Structure 1
Amino acid sequence: MSFLSRIMVLKSKAHFSTDGNNRPNDGGSSTFEGARKRKSNQAKSRVVLLVASFTVVYCIIGGRLAQFAMTPPDTTSSILPPDRLMASRPDIVDRNGALLATDIRTVSLFAEPNKIIDPDEAVEELRTVLPDLDTKGTYKKLAVKTSHFAWLRRQLTPKQQSQILALGIPGIGFRPEKRRFYPGGSTAAHILGYVNIDNRGVAGMEKYIDDQGLADLAAAGMTNDQPLQPVKLSIDLRVQDIVHDAVVNAVNNFQAKGAGAAVLDAHTGEVLAMASAPDFDPNYPNEGAAEGWLNRMTNGTFEMGSTFKTFTMAMALDSGKVTLRDAFDATNPIRIGGFTIHDFHGQHRVLTVPEIFQYSSNIGTAKIADLVGIDAHKEFLTRMGLLTKMDTELPELKMPTQPHVWKKINSITISFGHGVSTTPLQTAVAGAALVNGGKLIEPTFLPRSREQADAIAKTVVKKSTSDDIRFLLDFNGSKGSGRAARVPGYDVGSKTGTADKVVNGRYSHTLNFNTFLAAFPIDNPRYVIMTFCDEPKTGEHGGTISAYTAAPIARDIIARAAPILGIQPSFGNGNSALLVSY
């Protein structure tokens, strides 16, 4: 049989093995369907398993993300997010736009301990650039191999950064930061305050700025490194520099424990300058932590001595019970409650009201206060803001102290400045109210117009009382103890105050707190000056009372600052020119 015949026979057999419709027989069809269904079920199972797997994976990822979102930031490494490290603070400028504080870019050194090969060697190399590096503390940080981050030194100089880079230590890096810079150093330290290592305000106007919302924005991550609108202060940097020099020189020249001064606009309440010594450099605040941090002008309370006689006189004149033409007998000391009150410059005769002020008579002042009465006395000092906490932008404010119960002896001693302790700045504020027509205006370190000041001013004494007080200050400034602060060409009205300090519950006769309250030009006062000198051991002409210590501070400030403030000097009578032959 040929090959072709065989193929034909096979095809014939195959043809007759199927039915007439050319379909496989029933047994073969069932087998095929079963196999197809099994494959289909397996495919579906695989798809379901794959979807389930992806679902589980995505659930795990989503759960972890939710966990991270609800977990507070890990601060154990002391690292801040980059946006907070580089967040800008606004510049601070004076009333004329002179820069007082600004941000500068810097870098900080960090380590990844898990990448440090030899901690000992790394510490030794770093000490070649940073000799004051804490060896033990740094080694402990670098030796923790499970740690991925540790600060080593914040805010390096560019030179330090380049030197450390040259060392080539693996696992050492730098992060950009902002550092606060104060061009004037300690010139306005107690006004500006300072910031911490994370550029957050800690004291002064820096803290005030944060308290106005900057700190909350930073905590919410809503700050960035873009420049902010500068904050303008009422300070005049030129006058501030003069005041700062004057108080620092007083501490050094008079061997004093401290000194301070403030220049206040009598009609707006703006503080043009304020300084307290000892002070500190806000660029390196920790170096002044011992004594320099205390702002004695606003955060220290002291007995103001005879400057308080200004308020006693104003109280009596405003009550109508006393006039400038009245007189009081100051011949003999006053004995009350086991105490004897006498005069330092006793005249031992009847004194008129201007003479009581001129000679700073304790006896005459005590009799004036007794005439007005205890309750009226307390009410008047409260009205003047001398017994309550001052309201201003600086956070460093101390509450004045007073007797729990006012008795006659308290009222008498308070009349000449003993028994009540208050801050020097609020004494200046109350003094301004006595010379500006009777308006008490809370002080401000921000610019304020005359209209804005009038809107918040409180009338505390009559204008006639203010006129009388200006007369008394002028009288004392030209004929009394205020002559030590008289500046040629400028009419300065003033009152001195020398208070014995309390040591171990008793008044010391060798330690004084000297104060000086002045206004100029006294015929129409524009500025009020308050100075103090704490525990001077010497003074001009060898004296340690106010006329030789606190008054010269004011004199030096007025002589240098008055021309800058635009006060025209006046020589001769009737503002006519004074001709001098040479």
Structure 2
Amino acid sequence: MTIHVNPSDRLDGRGKTRAASDTEQTGAACNPCGLDRHIDHSAYTVLDGTVKQALEVGKTRLIATGLVISVAFFAIGVRLVDLTLLQGNTRTASSQTAKNLPGTAVRGDIVDRNGVILATSLPTASLFADARLVPDAEFAARELQKILPGKSRAELLAKLKSGKQFVWLQRHLTPRQQSQINSLGIPGLNFRREQRRFYPHGALTAHAVGFTSIDNEGLAGVEQSFDDMLNGTDDPLRLSLDVRIQHIMAEELSAAMAEFSAIGAAGMVYDVQNGEVVSMVSLPSYNPNEAGSAVDDARFNRATLGVYEMGSVFKLFTAAMALDEGIIRISDGYDTSDPIRVGRFTIRDYKPKNRWLSIPEILIYSSNIGTVHMAMEAGTSKQKAFLSNLGLTRPAKFDISEIGHPRLPNRWRDVNTMTISFGHGIAVSPLQLVRAAGALVNGGELKQASLVKRSDDETVPATRVISERTSQQIRRLMRLVVLHGTGRKANAEGFMVGGKSGTAEKIRDGRYVKNARMSSFLGAFPITNPRYVVFAMIDEPKGIKRTHGFATGGWVAAPVIKRLVERMGPLVSIEPIEDHIADDRIEQFLVDVTARSGGHSLASQ
């Protein structure tokens, strides 16, 4: 098509006309032909069509892109609705099921009286396989055995070829093991998050705290007794133990075992005011983190499960019984010159004085003969009743299940009354012993022992077993034993320790075995107003040159108590104080009692 345009006008780039410039107008005037100008605008038409086409393509692309993005967002929205609303119940059920799987449940910490962690749970990874998805069981077993040295290749191969959908390969991996297995890239191997029980102090508190199975089920100690309470809670269980005192006790007992070549030991610290067990040690011990590898002797709790003839420490109970029943007075005494013969048995003193001894002297010199006279005046029925009231004739009630049954005579005859008076013919646990001793020194009340920390306002179950007067007399006698008797090596300066040593031969196959003895010391401090009963027992010590070949309680166990008290005293806010006035009164008490009984004053010996 031909368009006639005014020479003075021109199409611009957008197809519009504009006025010609002055130069263009001048050129037109010089047109020699003098004819109207005819211009072909087909080029302008092509340009206009290209622009429109480009615009249409761009618009189409924008619409398509928008539709794709909209569809994507719509799909994401639908999936979110599906996950949160439609599958919510299913996922909640799955989560609940996971919590109920072995090893996945929350388990509360166990802490000592000061909040120090004794047992806690840490997250670990456990390896399992879907045997149906493992492409090369031989290769997988070979590579896994390199990472898991505790597993045999045959065991792993059998599991990987089992065809089972779920089979455990190794529980509680280390982070390094998990990383190494991940790097293998073997299909069908997966990990499950679990909780593993961990005991930071290892063997130190093993017999008290106990341990759990691989599925976090309590199998011993507090872990077993409080299994239901610990499972499914974040709240810690606070024990009465003080890990600092536990460490001191274990260290001192271990040193004594090494020095005297002993086969075992046990020790306890008992709060006589509230019945709390502050320390409970049994040696040898074991690592609860590897409880499965512990030998039976190490897992055996000598402090609560073991029962032993305690020897002369029982003389304190005989004296308390006779004094409290009014059978004797503190100023009374007995002639210990002649041994006592009963049938084929003869009762002698270890180091006889061969004279009249006052009641304090009978304890100071640990006279078997004098103690037998006291018991026989009281009689068998009173002895049985008194020891029963002290909880010595039945298993102790305590917070762990490892509790020993005392060994009593089948028929409690006169000869049994005699031997039991000085600690032979009856076997009790250290736990029973310290609880009964607590009643002797705390004013006469037998408290319920506890391994769990009691609140300050909690009422402690208690039963009166002796009078306050008798308790005071026993405390004086115990102090005199440390000042002048077999307990002198337990005399921690400034802490006013009172106590009694004990030595008893062990029984094997129904017979006493010489040179196989239990050597012990039972003490309390400060004896003027006791707070703690302390006990140490060494199993089968051997005499050494320093002790002149002796391995009795006074030589072996009394020094353990001395060092224990000196180290633990400041930790429990008991500072050493030289109380000469109290000791002077106790000394004068001894002088007066001995004079009234017609005996010999120790001051003159």
Does 2:556 correspond to 1:549?
yes
Residue of structure 2 equivalent to 1:309: 315
What per-residue deviation string (whole Å, max 9, x for no partner) do you get for residues 338-368 of structure 1?
Answer: 1011010111111111111011111111111
1:273 is displaced (CA, Å) by: 1.0
1:337 is displaced (CA, Å) by: 2.0
For structure 2, the 5+ residue unaligned runs are 1-96, 584-605
Look up the equivalent residue of 1:122 and give its one-letter code: A
Residue of structure 2 equivalent to 1:285: 291
Does 2:158 correspond to 1:158?
no
Residue of structure 2 equivalent to 1:517: 522
Residue of structure 2 equivalent to 1:85: 103
Paired residues, number:
485
* SS of the residue 1:229 aligns to: coil
Residue of structure 1 equivalent to 2:43: none
* SS of the residue 2:288 aligns to: coil
- Name the CA distance, whole Å, in 2 between partners of 1:124 and 1:117: 13
* SS of the residue 1:430 aligns to: helix
1:550 is displaced (CA, Å) by: 1.6
Does 2:463 correspond to 1:445?
no
- Name the CA distance, whole Å, in 1 between partners of 2:385 and 2:251: 38
Look up the equivalent residue of 2:193 and give its one-letter code: P
Residue of structure 2 equivalent to 1:458: 463
Does 2:336 correspond to 1:323?
no
Look up the equivalent residue of 2:278 and give its one-letter code: L
- Name the CA distance, whole Å, in 1 between partners of 2:536 and 2:562: 10
- 1:190 touches 1:279 (CA, 8 Å); kept in 2? yes
- 1:208 touches 1:393 (CA, 8 Å); kept in 2? yes
Larger CA deviation: 350-359 vs 134-143 = 134-143
* SS of the residue 2:528 aligns to: coil
Does 2:565 correspond to 1:558?
yes
- Name the CA distance, whole Å, in 2 between partners of 1:374 and 1:194: 43
Larger CA deviation: 135-144 vs 311-320 = 135-144
Residue of structure 1 equivalent to 2:601: none
1:94 is displaced (CA, Å) by: 1.3
Q: How does 1:326-345 map to 2 (within 5 A)?
A: 326-345=332-351
* SS of the residue 2:478 aligns to: helix
- Name the CA distance, whole Å, in 1 between partners of 2:316 and 2:374: 12
- Name the CA distance, whole Å, in 1 between partners of 2:444 and 2:457: 16
1:472 aligned residue (473, 477, 490):
477
* SS of the residue 2:569 aligns to: helix
Q: TM-score, normalised on structure 1?
A: 0.81
* SS of the residue 2:522 aligns to: strand
- Name the CA distance, whole Å, in 1 between partners of 2:293 and 2:437: 35
- 1:188 touches 1:244 (CA, 8 Å); kept in 2? no
- Name the CA distance, whole Å, in 2 between partners of 1:337 and 1:318: 30
* SS of the residue 1:303 aligns to: coil
What per-residue deviation string (whole Å, max 9, x for no partner) do you get for residues 202-257 of structure 1?
Answer: 11111122144x56xxxxxxx4xxx6111111111211111122222232222111
What per-residue deviation string (whole Å, max 9, x for no partner) do you get for residues 106-150 of structure 1?
Answer: 0111122222223222121012212221222222212212x1111
Q: How does 1:71-82 map to 2 (within 5 A)?
A: none
1:446 is displaced (CA, Å) by: 1.4
Residue of structure 1 equivalent to 2:224: 207
Q: How does 1:248-397 map to 2 (within 5 A)?
A: 248-397=254-403
Residue of structure 2 equivalent to 1:494: 499
Larger CA deviation: 268-277 vs 281-290 = 281-290
- Name the CA distance, whole Å, in 2 between partners of 1:262 and 1:445: 12
1:383 is displaced (CA, Å) by: 0.5
Q: How does 1:132-281 map to 2 (within 5 A)?
A: 132-145=150-163, 147-212=164-229, 223=232, 228-281=234-287
- 2:521 touches 2:557 (CA, 8 Å); kept in 1? yes
Residue of structure 1 equivalent to 2:435: 429
- Name the CA distance, whole Å, in 1 between partners of 2:122 and 2:330: 59
Change (3 A) 1:350 1:573: closer
- Name the CA distance, whole Å, in 2 between partners of 1:307 and 1:286: 37
* SS of the residue 1:292 aligns to: helix
- 1:269 touches 1:453 (CA, 8 Å); kept in 2? no
1:80 is displaced (CA, Å) by: 7.7
Larger CA deviation: 313-322 vs 482-491 = 482-491
- Name the CA distance, whole Å, in 2 between partners of 1:151 and 1:107: 12
Residue of structure 2 equivalent to 1:535: 540
Larger CA deviation: 379-388 vs 279-288 = 279-288
- Name the CA distance, whole Å, in 1 between partners of 2:508 and 2:306: 17
* SS of the residue 1:188 aligns to: helix
Q: How does 1:401-416 map to 2 (within 5 A)?
A: 401-416=407-422
- Name the CA distance, whole Å, in 1 between partners of 2:255 and 2:422: 29
- Name the CA distance, whole Å, in 1 between partners of 2:428 and 2:98: 42
* SS of the residue 2:194 aligns to: strand
1:287 is displaced (CA, Å) by: 2.3
1:183 is displaced (CA, Å) by: 1.1
What per-residue deviation string (whole Å, max 9, x for no partner) do you get for residues 302-360 of structure 1?
Answer: 11110001100000001101111111111011110210110101111111111110111
- Identical columns (%): 42
Look up the equivalent residue of 1:523 and give its one-letter code: T
For structure 1, the 5+ residue unaligned runs are 1-78, 216-222, 577-582
Does 2:103 correspond to 1:123?
no
Larger CA deviation: 509-518 vs 239-248 = 239-248
Change (3 A) 1:412 1:574: closer
- 2:131 touches 2:166 (CA, 8 Å); kept in 1? yes
- Name the CA distance, whole Å, in 2 between partners of 1:320 and 1:113: 80
- Name the CA distance, whole Å, in 2 between partners of 1:182 and 1:363: 49
- Name the CA distance, whole Å, in 2 between partners of 1:439 and 1:572: 26
1:567 aligned residue (568, 574, 587):
574
1:180 is displaced (CA, Å) by: 0.8
1:519 is displaced (CA, Å) by: 0.2
1:447 is displaced (CA, Å) by: 1.9
Look up the equivalent residue of 1:210 and give its one-letter code: D
- Name the CA distance, whole Å, in 1 between partners of 2:224 and 2:369: 46
Change (3 A) 1:255 1:453: farther
What per-residue deviation string (whole Å, max 9, x for no partner) do you get for residues 383-430 of structure 1?
Answer: 010011111111111111101211000000000001111101110000
1:575 is displaced (CA, Å) by: 8.9
- Name the CA distance, whole Å, in 2 between partners of 1:244 and 1:193: 17
Residue of structure 2 equivalent to 1:52: none
1:154 is displaced (CA, Å) by: 0.8
- Name the CA distance, whole Å, in 2 between partners of 1:322 and 1:488: 32
What per-residue deviation string (whole Å, max 9, x for no partner) do you get for residues 140-199 of structure 1?
Answer: 212212x11111111011011101111222221111100111111111111110111001
- Name the CA distance, whole Å, in 2 between partners of 1:139 and 1:359: 71
Change (3 A) 1:559 1:299: same
1:450 is displaced (CA, Å) by: 6.5
1:489 is displaced (CA, Å) by: 1.5
- Name the CA distance, whole Å, in 2 between partners of 1:157 and 1:211: 28
* SS of the residue 1:513 aligns to: strand
Change (3 A) 1:494 1:575: closer
